Structure 1
């Protein structure tokens, strides 16, 4: 890995660095393949702030799609539950058109801020849909129905989710 990239990772990860966001952005613009792998490992790390900065760096890189699996893994990791919203917010920098099911899952199971942001993405992003996408979304919905956080939220969630799924079903029934 390039020395400059190593230096940027070190500066970005330094808890005393006041310009960590600047170094994350600079790192993202200079990232190469070996640096990408190191930054993806930071996304999976235990320090949520460094993980978030690593996500930010990846959002500035040309490795958008390759990065999303690690970012969704961080979003769904229980250790990041309190900070899910920050991780979901960084997704606005990525192409989410192939990630309907991942966003839908965050909408169902995320914390309040993560759910609100996921709902915004569901409303605003133009997703590439397939019958498989629908089946996977229905699988997560059925899991949610059998494992709701509380009965009150279940009714509200039904009002939001069922029209989404019905619209997708109609899309494929026209074929």
Structure 2
């Protein structure tokens, strides 16, 4: 098995091809600690395609929680700015229930692609929402709104964000009433 893992790992480095995706699928299905640790190391590879494949593979691993922090760290590295949207797609395979604020920031401050992927995750994943999460999200919204051009696009986004924040307020109010 170790030989097969080593061979599959080699397929993830360098130029991507069909074998790379097959190797990623294979490693994701194995999902061992060895695979997760190897993918975390590949998140720092000089080749952006290799970093993408590492993130993709991590998203396929069932027990990938130990890779969530390194993946979020990779999002913040300047060498990943051009592939951030591709890396972010890996979060579909993660439990991000405690990362609402991190995704909300990417939704606000990311490129168009990053913002749309983050928005999709915010809309379709389950999150642990607390008053602290709401407060942090509101803080980021205020920071964003004070530092962006106030044009028609902003006004549309403002409506969307205020609706999102109101939904959070309603959720917190309802959960407090249930307790």
Q: TM-score if structure 2 supplies the norm length?
A: 0.82
- 1:65 positional shift: 2.0
Identify the residue that residue 104 of structure 2 maps to in structure 1: 104
**Cα deviation 1:17-75 (Å, max 9, x = unaligned):** 54101101111222422332221121233322111111121122133222222222323
8 Å Cα contact 2:104-2:118 kept in structure 1 = yes
Write the distance in 2 (CA, Å) between the matches of 1:151 and 1:82: 26
| Ranges in structure 2 where 5+ consecutive residues have no aligned partner | none
- 1:16 positional shift: 6.3
Identify the residue that residue 74 of structure 2 maps to in structure 1: 74
Q: Counterparts in 2 of 1:10-159, with a 5 A limit? A: 10-15=10-15, 17-148=17-148, 150-152=149-151, 153-159=153-159
Deviates more, 1:106-115 or 1:29-38: 29-38
- 1:151 positional shift: 3.0
Identify the residue that residue 9 of structure 1 maps to in structure 2: 9
- Alignment size in residue pairs: 174
> Structure 1's 46 and 136: CA in aligned 2 closer, same or farther, altered over 3 A?
farther
Q: TM-score if structure 1 supplies the norm length?
A: 0.84
**Aligned-residue CA RMSD in angstroms?**
2.3
Write the distance in 2 (CA, Å) between the matches of 1:42 and 1:142: 36
8 Å Cα contact 2:100-2:122 kept in structure 1 = yes
Runs of 4+ in 1 over 3 A off after TM superposition: none
| Ranges in structure 1 where 5+ consecutive residues have no aligned partner | none
Write the distance in 1 (CA, Å) between the matches of 2:125 and 2:33: 28
